[in-house]
Amino acid sequence: MAQMNNKEKNFASAVVYLQNCAEQVEPFFTTLLAQLEEHFSYYEIIAVNDGCTDDTVQRLKSFAAQQMKKPLTILNMSLHHGLEQAMNAGLDAAIGDFVYEFDSLQMPYQPDMIWQAYQTALNGFDVVTVSPTKQRMSSKTFYRLFNAFSNSIYQLESDVFRLVSRRAINRVKAISENLPYRKAAYAASGLACKTLRFEGEAPCQQEARLDKAIDSLALYTDAGYKISFGISCMMALLTLVALVYTVVVWLVGEPVMGWTTTMLVLSGGLAGLFVILTIAIKYLSLLVDLVFRKQNYLIEGIEKIQK
């Protein structure tokens, strides 16, 4: 009973993504279960089966029947949805005050970092990310681009798992019901974030990330608007130069009959087209803000100080 009283009373949820990882089931869940049992009085484990075609789920059920004292929840997706949508389903099912998100069963970090993430969260951080010290070149390039166009004060990078508070989940769900990229949504939520680091490298995800990268850049940064606006302005400038050149040739040279009129029409038309595209891009950017982002302002927290 004394040992139970020393454990944390906050309810902890662990949402784990499963996709053909049978060999990693026993070592991962053994470690996770040991950490939760040691530190939390109340917890739950939610495993999201995203269309596994091997015996991952069977091994997990066998492990739960033999090792787990508390029930295991398995969400079986109707088909392969991908990491983000599957994990969103797991978050919707989780009821914990704090929720661990494990996108992979690989553990390149020390198990006690699971507890360290929780201790860090208790110091006022709603999102605690555990990241490696080494970053792959492709990931480093993407995050450098993302952070350059992002308005968030928190810099994104590769991670292995994260711990989020119930307030963070409610905040991002209030901003947008659908989360195409949870990591970016948490960083853009306006809540306090913290990164813990370990020596090593994050496991390579098998899932194609190009679509997710493009979607996250379009939704959580100004990259699309700024790049397209810059291209439109550059093309409008080039057509303006062509227009001036056409007029100069007509004044001082001997152009071929019809050339001046053709170039004037083409240059003027293209200049007008790029101006219209620039305006249209601005309106599309505003529509994304109005439709996707439901909140006009973000509050990190409120403090009341009394004498």
User: What integer pLDDT is reported at residue 2 of this predicted model?
Assistant: 44
Q: What is the pLDDT of residues 77-102, one digit of tens each?
A: 888 888 888 898 889 889 999 999 99
β 127-134/72-76 pair status: unpaired
Q: Average pLDDT, whole number, for the chain?
A: 81
CB atoms within 10 A of CB 11: 17
pLDDT tier for residue 302 given thresholds of 50, 70 and 90 = very low
Q: What is the pLDDT of residues 9-62, one digit of tens each?
A: 999 999 999 988 899 999 999 999 999 999 999 999 999 998 888 999 999 999
d(CA 149, CA 98): 30
User: What integer pLDDT is reported at residue 158 of this predicted model?
Assistant: 86
d(CA 43, CA 13): 6
Least confident residue range of 35-44, 274-283, 289-298: 289-298
Whether the model pTM is above 0.95: no
Where residue 236 falls (left for φ over 0; alpha for ψ -120 to 50; beta otherwise) is alpha
User: What integer pLDDT is reported at residue 290 of this predicted model?
Assistant: 57
User: What integer pLDDT is reported at residue 3 of this predicted model?
Assistant: 52
Structural tokens at position 93: 């099912």
Q: Which helix (H) or strand (E) holds 138?
A: helix 137-149
pLDDT at residue 307 above 50? no
Structural tokens at position 260: 């001046």
Percent of the chain with pLDDT over 70: 79
